[in-house]
């Protein structure tokens, strides 16, 4: 069985109901003043279906994080439109960005407060979210008492506290050691399936992209365009060392190298 089906660049994918969780339509993004601007994204069209896990892959500087920031509403496209169903998406960064003067539980409760959860309900909900990310009993722990993996679990729980069905993740596991990253791959896959989230996940790691995603989207560089997409037909849960993941990773890596060569990046 072929482990992935490829599609042409920019081909939108919509669920059977016809309503995407995220719709990115002909988005361009430039920085700088007229006449001296840097064109970062060029005519990006991409739909993320409800419950779909999509990874964005590409060389450094191709605009992956810029696109994620646009979807998050942290910036606006120079041209084009972005629509997110159900309101503002939740965002998880590479760094945990937890407030060090608050406990793990209080960091989550703050997000719940901003999401409009009544005060009497916040403690129980924070503890439930900590249990969801397998940090039972960590409510009172300070950030400095937590390992890197535990901090990212708290950050994940805080993102989930926002109550959005769309989760944006910007290289959230890049700074972790291989074993911790592998464990968190299992966790995000489990939580994605349990909560039926739509996930847009940025990474430089090809194997990570293949292990996690239902679809891998490769961006070219300077400016970023959708070069190719792979719809992955491998059952979850997957192992990063499995033959299917390894074989498809080799194919995607060759495409990525080709994009880097075409754009003269090293």
Going along the chain from its start, the domains and CATH numbers come out as 4-89+164-262 (3.40.50.300), 99-163 (no CATH)
How far is Cα 11 from Cα 17, in angstroms, rounded to an integer? 17
How far is Cα 226 from Cα 239, in angstroms, rounded to an integer? 27
57 forms bridges with which residues in the sheet? 203, 218
Label residues 214-235 b or e (16+ Cβ within 10 Å = b). bbbbbbbbbbbbbbbbbebebe
Give the per-residue pLDDT at 5: 52
Give the per-residue pLDDT at 1: 38
Q: What does the pLDDT profile of the chain (266 residues) look like in tens digits? A: 345 554 444 344 444 456 899 999 999 998 877 766 788 899 999 999 999 999 999 888 888 999 999 999 999 999 999 999 878 899 988 777 889 999 999 999 999 998 899 988 999 999 999 999 989 989 999 999 999 889 989 999 999 998 899 999 999 888 888 888 898 999 999 999 999 999 999 998 999 999 999 999 999 987 889 999 999 989 888 888 899 999 999 999 999 888 877 766 54
Give the per-residue pLDDT at 9: 44
- The model's pTM is 0.88
Q: What is the dihedral of CA 124, 129, 130, 131, to 10 degrees?
A: 90
> Could you tell me which residues come within 8 angstroms of residue 70 by beta carbon, excluding any fewer than 6 positions away?
24, 27, 29, 41, 76, 77, 82
How far is Cα 90 from Cα 44, in angstroms, rounded to an integer? 21
Q: Could you say which DSSP state residue 69 is in?
A: H
Give the per-residue pLDDT at 38: 81
């Amino acid at each position: 069985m072929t482990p992935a089906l490829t599609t042409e660049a920019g081909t939108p994918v919509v669920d059977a109901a016809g309503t995407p969780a995220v719709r990115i339509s002909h988005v361009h993004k430039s920085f700088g003043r007229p006449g001296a601007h840097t064109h970062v994204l060029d005519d990006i069209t991409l739909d993320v279906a409800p419950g779909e896990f999509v990874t964005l892959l590409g060389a450094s500087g191709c605009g992956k994080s810029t696109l994620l920031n646009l979807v998050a509403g942290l910036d606006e496209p120079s041209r084009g439109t972005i629509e997110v169903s159900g309101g503002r998406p939740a965002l998880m960064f590479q760094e945990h960005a937890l407030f060090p003067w608050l406990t793990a539980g209080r960091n989550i409760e703050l997000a719940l407060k901003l999401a409009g959860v009544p005060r009497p309900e916040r403690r129980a909900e924070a503890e439930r979210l900590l249990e969801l990310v397998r940090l039972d009993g960590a409510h009172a722990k300070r950030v400095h008492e937590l390992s890197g993996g535990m901090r990212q679990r708290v950050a994940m729980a805080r993102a989930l506290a926002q109550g959005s069905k769309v989760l944006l993740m910007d290289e959230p596991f890049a700074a972790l050691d291989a074993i911790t990253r592998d464990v968190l791959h299992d966790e995000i896959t489990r939580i994605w399936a349990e909560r039926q989230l739509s996930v847009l996940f940025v990474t430089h790691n090809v194997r990570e992209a293949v292990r996690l995603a239902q679809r891998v989207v490769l961006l070219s560089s300077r400016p970023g365009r959708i070069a190719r997409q792979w719809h992955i037909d491998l059952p979850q849960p997957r192992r990063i060392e499995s033959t299917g993941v390894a074989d498809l990773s080799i194919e995607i890596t060759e495409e990525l190298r080709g994009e880097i060569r075409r754009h003269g990046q090293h």
